[in-house]
A and B are shown apart, each in its own frame.
Chain A
């Protein structure tokens, strides 16, 4: 399903809220990426007010230092209570890297992220297969079946038990998979990005906000994710 943007864009811009925890690292990158498709503001972790955001991005980094377990503390922050409510009401929530870990810790997404198979922080440009091109986070892919996006993390090995994995596959919740030879972290089923059952919450380990500018890194494939969110929010307004 593809929304027409020429008619809706004129009305008003989609507003993204990007969470900011102490220890977040990629929140400004996500903010600037979101601003390429809409408006975006940072939302401080200690506040509950989502400031009218129509889509939420939980960014990468090391929230609260990640000393206990990645994402384990951030999940209890005041802002996350509001995000959980926002998600239950059908609001779009994107979790990137540490944000993905936070969403799993908050049980907004199934499964968990374990230490990489190589047990090291690894930064690498990876290729991702778009397994589900019609979701709220991929509908702008428009025939693009392969995304080139950088990944950088220590805890990115996607894990869920077998019944859960079977359910994810059956319901089409696996949105992005590492292309052959690119699953350096050892994720089960090569899962790079997964959504919740109702499709409004999505997390991925690679960083689409770092693939939005041809000069910085060569790929703009990450814009697909933000543009898809914009289209989804605008479509829902009708």
Chain B
């Protein structure tokens, strides 16, 4: 380099997030101090966000292989085989810090980013789910949480609805530790014929590198390093310019264009531009393919003039893709871009230099070994230490300690973590693409038909309509020809408060709950994705949370044969008031052979038997009820028999598939009584339930609150005709507890008798509506 006149200093490197030692390492790799372009690129690729430098060693312990896995971690998204020559690509990713700074665009571009990850490997996005965490709502200090909630939900709706991908599920929790650092995790699924899958590795020196999509502006500069890899301070309003702005219309064109390019076999490889923009996309493509890449920033279409070369290289402008193309196919690629009104430009070439070189016209303005940039960032060992004093303050009590069971039931139903999510789900299009077999709140997992039902209808119909009454869908489903309708099921979950109480067991519980949700609809797991949201890993107690959670994640996924195919890590979710609850969000995808027997959660028929299924041993530790009572977190959760839970899942799944059950629901927050109320509300039926058998068998202290509202993994509430319900007993524990009836929930337990009408339950359950008035 000749432009050594104004070389950046170590101070500049520190400001960009590198440590002094890392800066010295960069100098060694470069054989001289890096110039501005090089320092900017190193600072991003060596950031926590890109390099996973505090988590990579842990992540290597996770199970990533299994019979269904087609693409594991390391690509833009993971993929599993889902039958019929098709693969399902899926991944969850966070956009936490951008959303804390600017919730609408932060959440919107979070959705945009995860969708690009899916179509970057050649899959058509078919569904979005989201996992959200905010501070408490409902008190007098909740303005910030409500602002973030409304902005984030609006942003997700804006992007997902506009691009025509249904938002089919999700979860949201409200807890004080998220007040200053909300979490916005978005998960997407896509489908592709197996042969269309494409990897990101660049190949073939002499091949052309084409940038297509939106033009490049100054938005999102430094997002990965400054925003995503550091704690949020009080001045984070200043960081608003580092948040990107999304354009779903541009992405819609980009999606169609990318899939069309792949369908015609015009691309060698494809990669989206996400965090760290061109820098990470080009470097990672070069690294994966063990080649070099030259980029000429003077060829990049700009949104504003006079951008510096380093700005062009690090811009996080949205809706852009990078592909490698053989020279003979460049004209075809550019023509197809034009057809979709997407701007495509050749900006560089693959080389055999193993170097990432940046040109500004004829001038070489950056020259770095690819391996140094991508692979040689130092990895750090954590120094985990179990905290000796509580990390989190007890929650504020909102329910009197002497509240009777009926008061507890209604208070739990209207509490923000349990109340109906309908006010959120109604903001999202859940049905576009015509695959949505179960809408939100109809079942524990979302269900998506793998083949477009219209395609199936045509197969059996010989094209022409016959009679209006019989045209199209058959009475029992959409297949028209009466055949099975294979489907995907998907669930996303994590109860951060339980993980905070016990990172190892709490994480196992999150994985088990996802699998239980799949079992309730009749699906078996194919693979798992995860988003590890934690505080500052350089603090020993956070390092301990992270280490324990990853250990639990690995153990649970191994035990369930649900390997990890991809994921994301979001660290430094911490402010001056402390870290967030450790929140390893789990997304699990499963398959069911025939959606026509897919489960529902609601009671369906008066007279059906109701049974408690599985090794359910409830406790009030870290339960929602103990939160309402203001109890501090316990030091640990009770032990879990994963194998017994797995047997119960197996039994419920099997019974659902043969049509033996009318409903199935996993018992989670709020315990058995809340699960019963949810089944009543979802089905519009009442229930008469007697719980003495539970208290007699299990209870040492005969605490009715523990039976009614205690929580634990491995419990299912099912209903159906007597023979169907009792057949479950061959594989797992079944306790018949009552019958479905007309219009009220009645619970009897010893002396205690509690009745609530459906109308009362519905009113309490609808409490979140007022947040969106």
Interface of B is mostly: loop
Decide if B429 touches A152 in the complex (CB within 8 Å): yes
Q: Is A77 at the interface (CB under 8 A from chain B)?
A: no
Q: Are B472 and A36 in contact (CB under 8 A)?
A: yes
Q: CB-CB contacts of A1-41 with B at 8 A, as 1s and 0s?
A: 00001100100011000000011111011011101111100
Interface residue? B573 (CB, 8 A): no
Candidates B340, B434, B465; contact of A9 at CB < 8 Å: B465
A185 to chain B, nearest CB (A): 12
A221 to B247, CA, bound (A): 35
Is B676 among interface residues, defined by CB-CB distance under 8 A? Answer: no
Which chain B positions have C-beta within 8 A of A207?
A: 431
> Please, what's the 1-or-0 string for B471-512, where 1 marks a CB less than 8 Å from any CB in chain A?
111111111000001000000000000000000000000000
The stretch among A128-136, A157-165, A194-202, A210-218 that forms the contact with chain B is A210-218
Is B249 a contact partner of A212 (Cβ separation < 8 A)?
no
A120: Cβ under 8 A from any B Cβ: yes
Q: Given the complex, which residues of B lie within 8 Å of A76, measured CB to CB?
A: none
Our pick among B455, B466, B476 for the contact of A214 (Cβ within 8 Å) is B476
Partner of B471, one of A22, A37, A39, A123: A37
- Smallest beta-carbon distance A23→chain B, Å: 5
Does A64 sit at the interface, judged by CB under 8 A? Answer: yes
Instruction: Say whether A186 faces chain B, with CB atoms less than 8 Å apart.
Output: no
Contact B426 A122 (CB under 8 A): yes
Considering only CB atoms, which chain B residue lies closest to A217 in the complex?
Answer: B431
Q: Tell me the nearest residue of chain A to B485, going by C-beta.
A: A215
Contact stretch, chosen from A79-87, A100-108, A169-177, A223-231: A223-231
Quick check: is B196 within 8 A (CB to CB) of the other chain?
no
Question: Could you say which residues of chain B place their CB within 8 Å of the CB of A214?
Answer: 473-478
Instruction: Give the complex CA separation of A220 and B470 in angstroms.
Output: 11
Closest to B452 in A: A32
Most buried by B among A6, A120, A209: A120
Chain B 421-437 interface residues, beta-carbon cutoff 8 Å to A? 425-437
A220 to B457, CA, bound (A): 13
Query: Restricting to B253-280, which residues have a CB under 8 Å from any CB of A?
Result: 253
B114 within 8 A of A: no
User: Are A25 and B163 interface neighbours, CB within 8 A?
Assistant: yes
Return the contact of A23 from the options B154, B252, B464, B595 (Cβ within 8 A).
B252
Q: Assess whether B473 is in contact with A230, with CB atoms less than 8 Å apart.
A: no
Q: Would you list which residues of chain A between 141 and 198 have a CB under 8 Å from chain B? A: 142, 150, 152
Are the CB atoms of B472 and A213 closer together than 8 Å?
yes
Residues of A within 8 A of B248 (CB): 62, 65
| Residue from B162, B468, B474, B478 whose CB has the most chain A CB atoms within 10 Å | B468
Asked whether A9 lies within 8 Å of B466 as measured between CB atoms, the reply is yes
Complex interface: chain A residues within 8 A of B632 (CB) = none
Query: Nearest chain-B residue to A150 (Cβ)?
Result: B431
Q: How far is the CA of A6 from the CA of B474 in the complex (A)?
A: 19
Which positions 573-595 of chain B face chain A at CB distance < 8 Å? 595
Question: Smallest CB-CB separation from A212: which chain B residue?
Answer: B472
Q: Once the chains are docked, how many angstroms separate the CA of A231 from the CA of B164?
A: 30
| A33 adjacent to B473 (CB under 8 Å) | no
Q: Number of A-B pairs whose CB atoms are under 8 Å?
A: 163
Of A67, A123, A142, the contact of B430 (CB 8 Å cutoff): A123
Q: Tell me the minimal C-beta distance from A200 to chain B in angstroms.
A: 20
B434 to A, closest residue via Cβ: A29
Contact indicator A122/B427 (Cβ below 8 Å): yes
Contact A124 B426 (CB under 8 A): yes
- Residue contact B473 to A62, C-beta cutoff 8 Å: no
Given A25-B163, A26-B432, A36-B454, A67 and B249 contact (CB-CB distance below 8 Å):
yes
Contact B465 A37 (CB under 8 A): yes
Are the CB atoms of A216 and B457 closer together than 8 Å?
A: no
CB-defined contacts of A64 to chain B, threshold 8 Å:
249
Chain A residues with CB below 8 A from B157, complex form: 120-121
- Cα A152 to Cα B428 with chains together (Å): 8
Kindly list chain A residues whose C-beta atoms are within 8 Å of the C-beta of B465. 5, 9, 13-14, 36-38, 227, 230
A13 partner, pick from B439, B464, B472, B478, beta carbons under 8 A: B464
CA distance A84 to B736 in the complex (A): 65
Q: Interface range on chain B: under 10, 10 to 19, 20 to 34, or 35 or more? A: 35 or more
Partner of B472, one of A22, A37, A61: A37
Nearest-Cβ distance from residue A24 to partner chain B, whole angstroms: 8
Residues of the A chain whose Cβ atoms lie less than 8 Å from the Cβ of B457 = 32, 35-36, 213
CB of A216 within 8 A of CB of B428, answer no
Cβ-closest chain A residue relative to B474 = A214
Chain B residues with Cβ below 8 Å from A74 are: none
- B406 CB within 8 Å of chain A: no
Query: In the assembled complex, which residues on chain A have CB atoms less than 8 Å from the CB atom of B467?
Result: 5-6, 9
**In the complex, which residues of chain A have a beta carbon less than 8 angstroms from the beta carbon of B478?**
213-216
Contact at B434–A22, with CB atoms within 8 Å? no
Please tell me which one of the listed residues A25, A150, A212, A216 contacts residue B164 in the complex, with CB atoms under 8 A apart. Answer: A25
Q: Does B453 lie at the interface of the complex (its beta carbon under 8 Å from any beta carbon of A)?
A: yes
Is the Cβ of B427 less than 8 Å from the Cβ of A216? no
Docked complex Cα distance between A216 and B431 (Å): 8
Q: Are B463 and A13 in contact (CB under 8 A)?
A: yes
Instruction: List residues of chain B with CB within 8 A of the CB of A140.
Output: 468
Q: Closest B-chain residue to A141, C-beta based?
A: B468
The answer to whether the Cβ of B541 comes within 8 Å of any Cβ in the partner chain is no
B129 CB → nearest A CB, Å: 15
Residues of B within 8 A of A5 (CB): 465-468
On chain B, the residues within 8 Å of A38 by CB distance are 464-465
Q: Which of chain A's residues has its CB closest to B158's CB?
A: A121
Give Cα distance in the complex from A207 to B164, angstroms. Answer: 14
A32–B454 contact, CB under 8 A? yes
In the complex, the answer to whether A227 meets B247 with C-beta atoms within 8 Å is no
Q: Which residues of B are found within 8 Å of A13, using beta-carbon distances? A: 463-465
Which chain B residues border A28 with CB–CB below 8 Å?
Answer: 433-434, 452
B437 contact set on A, CB distance < 8 A: 215-216
Complex CA gap A9/B469 in Å reads 14
Docked Cα-Cα span, A215 to B485, in Å, equals 9
Give 8 nearest A-B pairs by CB, closest first.
A32-B454, A65-B249, A25-B164, A36-B472, A215-B477, A213-B478, A215-B478, A213-B473
A residues apposed to B, CB below 8 Å: 5-6, 9, 13-14, 22-26, 28-29, 31-33, 35-39, 61-62, 64-67, 120-124, 140, 142, 150, 152, 207, 209-210, 212-217, 220, 223, 227, 230-231
Sampled A-B contacts (6; CB under 8 Å) = A32-B452, A214-B477, A215-B595, A216-B434, A217-B436, A223-B468
* Interface contacts beyond A36-B461, A215-B485, A217-B431: sample of 7 additional A-B pairs, CB < 8 Å, sorted by A: A24-B164, A26-B432, A32-B453, A38-B464, A62-B162, A123-B429, A231-B468
